[in-house]
């Protein structure tokens, strides 16, 4: 029983590897299914082909589509960043919050918390046009961007202002068991000229304006800071990563288990 393959640790490692392989396979199947569903969603660019499709559909409406990677053009004056120079966008989110610490008598230590969080959201009307074409005959107006899910805002400013501990602050700590730590400022924007892909309902209105808006059937309204091809590629890469980990841990587990069984049978024959 001196052979390392016959140690209990080998069985533990083999079982753990096979268990991880099963978990990674489940993640791979879920991601692959999610990617396939995304591929089944019709996708377009703002061009005359999209206009022809909308004109040919009942009620001039496409219930759920993706508008392929396009540039953002503000319909009028864009929003200027409050903190970053020469930074302009069409959606702005400013977050200001205070970081405090309070004394936990049970743990005998200071515990962090965030208080007085304030958010300010601003947006101006904007449209999606074909890449490289800021002046286009066909554009898609994006409706209600603040209602959309998705990570489409870029952080353009973040600053922590450390609190100064004066005499008043020290007295406050003694009586309340709380002390200020820092004031955080953060600004996020959807910049003019960025790539964006939107998932939602497309409708052609009477004035020939194409609008992307939240779907009426309850499906997710999503904006992604990427072109459609890159978005799908990231999902495929994620699925391939889980697939590779499934194979790696599966082969490792089977190899260890086979080595354990082979060594045990060989010892019995002696």
Distance CA 134, CA 228 (A): 19
Domain contains 79: yes
Residue 211 CA to residue 61 CA, distance in Å, equals 10
Specify if 176 maps to a domain: yes
- 52 sits in which H/E element: helix 48-56
Residue 19 lies in a domain: no
CA atoms within a 13 Å half-sphere pointing along the CA-CB vector of 25: 12
Tell me which residue range forms the domain holding 104: 41-226
Residue 52 lies in a domain: yes
Is 269 a domain residue? Answer: no
- Is residue 177 situated within a structural domain? yes
Q: Read off the pTM.
A: 0.78
Q: What is the pLDDT of residue 235?
A: 94
- Classify residue 128 as exposed, middle or buried by CB count within 10 Å of its CB (0-12, 13-18, 19+): buried
Tens-place pLDDT, residues 115-154: 888 999 999 988 888 876 655 678 899 999 999 998 899 9
Amino acid 118: pLDDT: 93
Domain assignment of residue 252, yes or no: no
Is residue 105 domain-resident? Answer: yes
Exposure b/e, 241-266, CB count within 10 A at least 16 = b: ebbebbeebbebbeebbebbeebeee
The mean pLDDT value of the chain amounts to: 86
Cα–Cα–Cα angle for 53, 44, 47, rounded to 5 degrees: 70
1: pLDDT strictly greater than 50 = no
Q: Are 102 and 111 in contact (CB under 8 A)?
A: yes
pLDDT, tens digit, for every residue of 87-123?
Answer: 999 999 999 998 888 877 787 788 888 888 899 999 9
Number of structural domains found in the chain:
1
In percent, the amount of the chain with pLDDT more than 90 equals: 46
> Cβ neighbours of residue 100 under 8 Å, at least 6 residues apart?
112, 113, 114, 115, 178, 179, 180, 181
CB 68 within 8 A of CB 231: no
- Element housing 186 (H / E): strand 178-191
pLDDT tens for 215-265 read 998 899 999 998 899 999 999 999 999 999 999 999 999 988 888 777 766
pLDDT at 169: 58
* Strand-pair partners of 223: 198
Give the pLDDT of residue 8: 78
């Amino acid at each position: 029983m001196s052979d390392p393959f016959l140690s209990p640790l080998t069985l533990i490692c083999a079982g753990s590897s096979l268990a991880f392989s099963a978990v990674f396979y489940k993640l791979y199947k879920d991601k692959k299914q999610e990617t396939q569903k995304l591929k089944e969603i019709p996708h377009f660019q703002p061009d005359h082909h999209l206009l022809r499709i909308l004109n040919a559909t009942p009620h001039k409406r496409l219930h759920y589509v993706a508008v392929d990677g396009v540039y953002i053009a503000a319909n009028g004056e864009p929003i200027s960043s409050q903190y970053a120079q020469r930074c302009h966008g069409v959606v702005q989110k400013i977050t200001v919050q205070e970081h405090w610490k309070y004394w936990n008598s049970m743990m005998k230590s200071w515990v962090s918390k965030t208080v007085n969080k304030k958010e300010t959201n601003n947006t101006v009307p904007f449209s999606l046009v074909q890449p490289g074409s800021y002046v286009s005959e066909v554009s898609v107006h994006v409706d209600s961007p603040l209602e959309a899910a998705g990570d489409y805002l870029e952080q353009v400013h973040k600053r922590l202002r450390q609190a100064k501990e004066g005499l008043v602050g020290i007295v406050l700590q003694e009586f309340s068991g709380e002390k200020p730590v820092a004031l955080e400022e953060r600004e996020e924007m959807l910049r003019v000229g960025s790539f964006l892909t939107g998932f939602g309902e497309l409708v052609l209105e009477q004035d020939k304006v194409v609008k992307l808006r939240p779907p009426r059937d309850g499906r997710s309204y999503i904006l992604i800071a990427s072109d459609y091809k890159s978005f799908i590629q990231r999902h495929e890469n994620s699925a391939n990563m889980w697939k590779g980990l499934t194979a790696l841990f599966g082969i490792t587990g089977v190899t260890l288990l086979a080595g354990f069984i082979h060594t045990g049978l060989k010892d019995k024959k002696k």
